[in-house]
Amino acid sequence: MTEVIYSDPRQRTHALHLGMWMFLGSETLLFAGLFGLYASYRAEFPSEFAVGVAHNNALIGTANTAVLIISSFFVAWGVHSIRGSRRRPCMISLGVAVLLGLTFLVLKSIEYTEHLRAGLAPGAHFSSTMLPARGFALFYTLYFVMTGLHALHVVAGITILTWLAIRVRRGRTRRDHRTELELGGLYWHLVDIVWIFLWPLLYLTHR
C-alpha cells in the first residue's frame, strides 16, 4: 500500500518521521498540561509540595533516572548498529533497553507500594495521618497521575522495543528497513525526556 502512495522511498521515510514527530509533539503537550497544573498547585501550596518531595524516595527516583538514561543510550546504540547492518549488537542493545525499562517499572512499583501502605494514595483515597493537609493530597494525586501516565508510556515503549527486537532477531528488520527502529527509538527517547523533568520536580526540589 505504502509503495503505491509513495513512489519514492524518501517520501515515505520523511512522512513516517514527520508523523512520529507530530505524535511526539502531541504527547509532549499532554504532559505539559500536567506540568502546568503541578506548577500552579505548587505555587498555592509551596511548603506542602516541598515536604511531599522530601518525603519521596530520592534514591529510587535517582536510580530510575540513571536507568532510563542508560536505556535511551542502548536504544540509540541499537539504531546505530542496524545502520551498520549489525543485527546482533542491535538485538542485544534493544534487549538491554527492555530489561532496563522493566527495572524502572519494578522500582516504581516498590515506590508505589511504600506510598500506598502509608496512605499516600491519589484523590479521595488519601488517608495519611502523617501528612494530613490538603496540599499533600494534591501533591500525591499529581504524583500518581504524572508518574502513572509516564509508566503507561514506559509499558508501551517496552512493548514496541520488544517487538522490534524480535523482528531484528528474525531478520525482518534489515538495514533497508531501519526506519521502524528509528521511530521506535524516538518514542523511547521522549519517555526518557519526560522523566528527566519529572525527576527533579518530584524528588529533588524539596527546599
Which long-range contacts link 30-38 to residues 24+ away (Cβ below 8 Å)?
30/149, 31/146, 31/149, 31/150, 31/194, 31/197, 34/142, 34/145, 34/146, 34/149, 35/146, 35/197, 35/201, 37/142, 38/142, 38/146, 38/201
Question: Can residue 71 be called a binding residue for other proteins (CB under 8 A)?
Answer: no
Question: Can residue 87 be called a binding residue for other proteins (CB under 8 A)?
Answer: no
Question: Can residue 111 be called a binding residue for other proteins (CB under 8 A)?
Answer: no
Among 51, 57, 58, 105, binds other proteins (CB under 8 A): 58
Question: Can residue 189 be called a binding residue for other proteins (CB under 8 A)?
Answer: yes
Candidates 186, 119, 149; CA nearest to 38 is 149
Q: Which residues bind other proteins (CB under 8 A)?
A: 9-10, 12-14, 17-18, 21-22, 24-25, 28-29, 32-33, 35-36, 39-40, 43-44, 58, 62, 65-66, 69-70, 72-73, 75-77, 79-80, 83-84, 176-179, 182-183, 185-186, 189-190, 192-193, 196-197, 199-201, 204-207
